[in-house]
Chains A and B, each alone.
Chain A
Amino acid sequence: MRTENWLIEFFGRCRAHMFKIKKTIVSTQSRFQNILIADVDHFGKALFLDGVPQSAALDEHIYHETLIHPALVANGRPKKVFLAGGGEGAVVRETLKHNSVEKVLMIDIDDIMVDMARQHLYEWHQGAFDDPRVELKHEDARGYLATTNEKFDCIIMDLTDPFEGSPSAGLFTLDFYNIVKSRLNEGGVFAAQAEHALMGEQYAHVSIIKTLKQVFKYVMPYYTMIYFYRVIWGFVLASDSPLPEIMTPAHVDATVGNLNAGLKFYDGETHTNLFSAPKYLRDDLNNPDFGMIISDSKLLNLPKPGSCNI
């Protein structure tokens, strides 16, 4: 008999994913969340926030390339990029692969998270925080965007789930998306992680897409399996520029071929896969009776899942 240490993530309360923890690297509580960085069997080094898996060495590149590159490719020549969240630093790493980028402003509300990433997640940020083009702030991303006069070519949200009471909850609303739109340059593109899209639990995702459609002319949801999360994850691009015309596999291949560092996941064929939605999601997105418009006065109110370490 031997003892094993498993972290259990209860997902939707009626199923759960178990991760075998080989070693806890750091576990700490910031003002906003519990931060756990651990060595997990099969996945390698991995980050959990409040017990929810965020990214793992095995496939963090899939999540981060998928979140960042479609927006930057759609914009064409992004110079100024705004990133919210993304404390691991991998979103900055991916953004800086585009040679046109002159400035990256990253706002993560949690400075402890970024400190932990600097100390323990070098493979994620690869020193990107110290690039002279990068400015890092720790404050509320929404408050910043609401008061600044600056405009950006791309605004990208790498946020935690909008659970009830979470600092992310106010960054998934119609009111916030209107602020975002006012801070985008001509041809600007918004991108965000848009919650999981698994069959039977796609309400939050569909609501996010429908809310964005109230604000932007072109909204394109897209999907990929994040193996660490064990679910199909939703992402979204939104813009007033005609995204479907711009985003062809050939254009994607030409653009990612010109980056200053190679991509491991995103290219033209992967793009086709990402943007071919499963039918159950298309059906729900077209169903006027499914989902809701999220606003400051009517939040999603996702219940916080249970999670325990046994």
Chain B
Amino acid sequence: MSSNNWIIDYSKKNRSFMYEVNRVIAQTESPYQEIIIADTQFFGRAVFLDGMARLSSLDRQVYYEALVHPAMLAHACPKRVFVAGGGEGLILNEILKHSPVDRVVLAERDETLVRLAKENLKDWLQGAFDDSRVEVIYRNPRDYLANTEDFFDIIFIDVKSDFEEFPSPFATSEFYALAKSRLAGGGILATIAEHTEPGFHLPFVSIIKTLSRLFEGVVPYHTPITLFADINAFAMAGPADLKDRCTAAEIGRAIALRNLKLKHYDPESHQGMFSLPKHIRTALADPHAGGILHEQ
């Protein structure tokens, strides 16, 4: 019998995932969370925050391409981009692929996470934090947005949410309204939006319903993430015609126009991501399923 080290993601209490670890690269308790960067057997290098798998070598681009490109492509000219969270930095690599971008503000409260990412995810980041268009602010994204006078074309919300504490402060009507107030005309908000799994799907449904109160165009979508052993849900919110800009054909044209080299996101992937499971569609149409999310 060989002896193995495993990280067990026990966050969901009634089902857990185990990741075999070859070597722990960094393990620290920041003021905000426990951060582990480890080389795992199947996923390669991976980041765990408070024991929850966050990204891995195997499929990191699936997540970041899904979060970033639909919104960036749906906007005709995204120059100014704001990221709430995203301290691992890989979101920057995807944003900077879009030639119109001339400024990215990333507000991440956890400086330790950014430092560990810069030290241990170098090969993936390829200097993204040092790009002259990028400004990193170590501050709660909410405080930044509440105090800035800047407007953005795209706002991304990439803040890890704890399964047990839904809604997160970044998935409430109040926060979405604040984000909306910092969007320039025609601006688009894109956010991670929980899960599609039956029995755990109402938070996703509630996020969509909450966004729909504030924005004229709201488009939910989803994609499986191998590392999470789950389907990750996302949402875009913006102008009324947002949905029409998100057809597979439009996306294909926009990818070609911006000359993007992507690993996973293409028109066929888009078509799968934007065709929702029936239980989600049913819940969205049901006025009694889910609800409007407010700060507690």
Task: Identify the A interface with B (CB < 8 A).
Answer: 6, 8, 12-20, 41-43, 58-59, 198-200, 225, 227, 230-232, 263-267, 269-270, 272-273, 276-280, 282
B226 touches A198 (CB 8 A): yes
Chain A neighbourhood of B20, CB < 8 A: 13-15
Out of A18, A200, A227, A232, name the residue touching B197 (CB < 8 Å).
A227
Chain B neighbourhood of A279, CB < 8 A: 263-266, 268-269
CA distance A42 to B43 in the complex (A): 26
Q: Is B100 an interface residue (CB 8 A)?
A: no
Per-residue A-contact encoding for B1-20, CB less than 8 Å = 1, 0 else: 00000101000111111111
> In the complex, what residue of chain B is closest to A41 when comparing beta carbons?
B14
CA distance A18 to B198 in the complex (A): 18
A6 touches B268 (CB 8 A): no
CA distance A200 to B272 in the complex (A): 20
Contacts A42-B199, A279-B263 hold; do A19 and B15 have CB atoms under 8 A apart?
yes
A58 touches B58 (CB 8 A): no
Segment of B150-158, B177-185, B277-285 in the binding face: B277-285
The minimal Cβ–Cβ distance linking B118 to chain A, given in whole angstroms, is 26
Q: Is B27 an interface residue (CB 8 A)?
A: no
> In the complex, what residue of chain B is closest to A44 when comparing beta carbons?
B199
Per-residue A-contact encoding for B251-280, CB less than 8 Å = 1, 0 else: 000000000000111101101110111110
Interchain pairs with CB closer than 8 A, number: 115
CA distance A24 to B116 in the complex (A): 45
Chain B neighbourhood of A269, CB < 8 A: 275-276, 278, 281
B269 touches A273 (CB 8 A): no
> In the complex, what residue of chain A is closest to B40 when comparing beta carbons?
A14
CA distance A270 to B272 in the complex (A): 9
Contacts A6-B16, A16-B6 hold; do A272 and B278 have CB atoms under 8 A apart?
no
Out of B17, B197, B230, B276, name the residue touching A15 (CB < 8 Å).
B17
Chain B neighbourhood of A278, CB < 8 A: 62, 224, 264, 269, 272
Contacts A15-B17, A16-B18, A18-B17 hold; do A230 and B229 have CB atoms under 8 A apart?
yes
B271 touches A225 (CB 8 A): no
CA distance A198 to B43 in the complex (A): 12
CA distance A59 to B195 in the complex (A): 15
* 13 cross-chain CB contacts under 8 A: A13-B20, A16-B17, A18-B17, A41-B13, A41-B15, A198-B226, A231-B229, A265-B278, A265-B279, A270-B278, A278-B224, A279-B266, A282-B268
Q: Is B41 an interface residue (CB 8 A)?
A: yes
Interface residues of B in 199-252 (CB under 8 A from A): 199, 224, 226, 229-231
Count of chain B residues near A, Cβ 8 A: 42
Out of B42, B198, B281, name the residue touching A59 (CB < 8 Å).
B198
B278 touches A264 (CB 8 A): yes
B229 touches A17 (CB 8 A): yes
CA distance A17 to B228 in the complex (A): 11
A200 touches B42 (CB 8 A): yes
Q: Is B111 an interface residue (CB 8 A)?
A: no
Contacts A14-B40, A276-B275, A278-B269 hold; do A225 and B17 have CB atoms under 8 A apart?
no
Chain B neighbourhood of A199, CB < 8 A: 58-59, 62, 226
Chain B neighbourhood of A15, CB < 8 A: 17-20, 40-43
Out of B197, B199, B266, B275, name the residue touching A270 (CB < 8 Å).
B275
Out of B17, B199, B263, B277, name the residue touching A58 (CB < 8 Å).
B199
CA distance A13 to B17 in the complex (A): 13
> In the complex, what residue of chain B is closest to A14 when comparing beta carbons?
B41
Out of A41, A59, A230, A265, name the residue touching B17 (CB < 8 Å).
A230
Chain A neighbourhood of B42, CB < 8 A: 12, 14-15, 200
Contacts A199-B58, A264-B279, A272-B275 hold; do A42 and B269 have CB atoms under 8 A apart?
no
A232 touches B224 (CB 8 A): yes
B17 touches A273 (CB 8 A): no
A20 touches B14 (CB 8 A): yes
Chain A neighbourhood of B271, CB < 8 A: 272-273, 276
> In the complex, what residue of chain B is closest to A267 when comparing beta carbons?
B278
The minimal Cβ–Cβ distance linking B76 to chain A, given in whole angstroms, is 25
Chain B neighbourhood of A265, CB < 8 A: 277-279
CA distance A267 to B280 in the complex (A): 13
CA distance A29 to B146 in the complex (A): 63
Contacts A14-B42, A18-B18, A230-B17 hold; do A272 and B272 have CB atoms under 8 A apart?
yes
A225 touches B6 (CB 8 A): no
CA distance A277 to B273 in the complex (A): 10
A225 touches B224 (CB 8 A): yes
Chain A neighbourhood of B15, CB < 8 A: 17-20, 41-43, 230
